[in-house]
Amino acid sequence: MTTDADRDALEAALPPLSGSLSLPGLEASVSVRRDAWGIPHIKAVGEADAYRALGFVHAQDRLFQMELTRRKALGRAAEWLGAEAAEADILVRRLGLEQACRRDYEALAGEAKDMLKAYASGVNAFLESGAAHPCEYALLGATPEPWEPWHSIAVMRRLGLLMGSIWFKLWRMLALPVVGAQNALKLRYDDGGRDLLCIPPGAQADRFEADLAALAPFVDHLLKAMGGDASDAAGGGSNNWAVGPGRTATGRPILAGDPHASSRSPACMRSTISPAIAST
């Protein structure tokens, strides 16, 4: 049963839709307008201010999701979620995800580092603003931790684990001692540059055909490694597609990315519109 106090606490964590806020570090004034769908439209003179405002807005809307995703990326989710999350934490620690993120950040050019620093300063400005935190923090008895610039890379690497091909790489690793290097390579699609990136009407792209006889020992080995459960062995996929302006009702082209991920609330992507930066 939800009490008035519970409802008040939930509403207190919602971002304000009018008024003015002070954001340290801004070089000029920034306006944020939320449309009917809650999508923030950020208007800033320069990119640094736009990214600083973007970090602030993201923290307003998605702070708990941001921090939980960061914890999953760094192998710290079990601190909040308990023993059931420990196995995933162990995996990302063995993969060295945190070290990889720190190396990625150090290898960035100055402009990219400045972007991530500005974004992080916006997130931290929200944490220091005294605004109410999402209710999940109260339920966990937790306090938000500061956001460092390289943490944004950690979030993207976490999404990469979910949407990338890491599981196929791990399966190939299991296959290597069983079927040998040459046969294990057959599990990796490589068309030698023959396939078409953009397929004209009526054209056919090359298709990968595995040597099933050579891979049969690996399939048995994989099933044993998975405890006989192959329900997730087929994996998934993603696609990207475009529609020309002559085929749309508006006369404008459509470019769409379709990552095949499980449904979740809130979604793993966040729509933001700003003339100063690309939509994210």
Active site residues: 238
**Which residue in 256, 231, 232, 229 sits closest to 242, CA to CA?**
256
Inter-CA distances, 131 with 10, 42, 154, 280, Å: 12, 20, 25, 24
Whether 120 contacts 28, CB under 8 Å: no
30 in helix, strand or coil?
coil
Distance CA 86, CA 75 (A): 8
Phi-psi region for residue 2, left (φ > 0), alpha (ψ -120 to 50) or beta?
A: beta
Q: Cis ω on the peptide bond leading into residue 40 (within 30° of 0)?
A: no
Distance CA 218, CA 188 (A): 14
Residue 31 sits at φ, ψ, to 5 deg, of -110, 140
Residue 34 sits at φ, ψ, to 5 deg, of -100, 130
